[in-house]
Copies of this chain bind each other. A is one copy, B any other.
């Protein structure tokens, strides 16, 4: 199951960013399971990584390499997460980097490794390195759609977003792909995102964009509350467009930020729409909070409540479950008599109980939709936060009970 059509967009090639795809046969013979990004010299890269305490070997190696060198290659494999693999896992990740570096004529620290798949199995290094010549030989700027398919694991469909804008007469392309369907939650998920643009962006601005846009998109989606050991979301800027470098006070920055923001949101939402077993795309919008922390506490408590999620699956406007989740979010002194809860445009809760003008028929009408917004106004302040999630269905249990078996 998945929500919405989920067709891939037309991808605008990004000058200076080539993609190679190959088959290493990690889990299934013949499956495309290796994607390589080849970045033109001068490309600037920034990113965010999982905050899971036990981050995987490739995350540790990527962080180290980014501190040492300007990346020239990103190497992504599916089918094996190289996580929970201890010291041998680090050596394996390094061996893959070294092999790619030697094949491509760069140094190992110019290669960033990314892995996704089952935790705790040794990485099949020979299979991966054996596929690298093929991936490098075929690297081209027009292979985004194949790359989107090449990074899938339990995803039911590839995920991509792309746009082209003009900044003061200079054409800028932005393209991105993402993957992830389970173990999705802020900070982060079995989630990989790769976004590239040909704009030239000052390093500090690029770092801010990568962190700010990742925070408000990939770090605001949740499917099951679990966080993977492997997540990463990378922003690459090749600088090949015809315009000037974009600095913090550049008038070109706001429109570029907005275009990037849309691509980030589209890629993050695509993960929720393809959430394991998802039949609904749900926006949880908390306003009137006294702090960001309490807004997020309420939003995530509702978003993670299995009772709310199963009610969403059943299209049951069981507003008592939403109210109970808000009440247990750990926010002290909530005023039940002040707060309001809406399902779409229908008020569920007002004046301390069910809204006077509420009817099951009106609630049911909203619940039957495929896209639903739950809006909670705490009436305590002016902070607002939005998170996105999906419902909890039989298929979620089936997928996760049968994933390895």
Contacts and interface: CB of A to CB of B under 8 A. Distances in A.
A304 interface: yes
A306 B395 CA distance: 13
A393 to B, nearest CB: 6
A351 B89 CA distance: 13
Interface residues of A, number: 69
A119 interface: yes
Interface string A54-75: 1100000000000000000000
Interface string A303-333: 0111100110110101111011111110111
Contacts of A185: 328
A38 interface: no
Contact of A394 (B120, B398, B405): B398
A249 interface: no
A340 to B, nearest CB: 13
A401 B304 CA distance: 16
A228 interface: yes
B404 A226 contact: no
Copy number of this protein in the oligomer?
A: 2
A55 B324 CA distance: 9
A161 B394 CA distance: 34
Nearest to A183: B307
B401 A324 contact: no
A118 B320 contact: yes
A227 interface: yes
Interface in A28-51: 51
Interface of A: 51-55, 81, 83-89, 118-120, 182-183, 185, 187, 224-229, 304-307, 310-311, 313-314, 316, 318-321, 323-329, 331-334, 336-337, 349, 351-354, 392-394, 396-398, 400-405
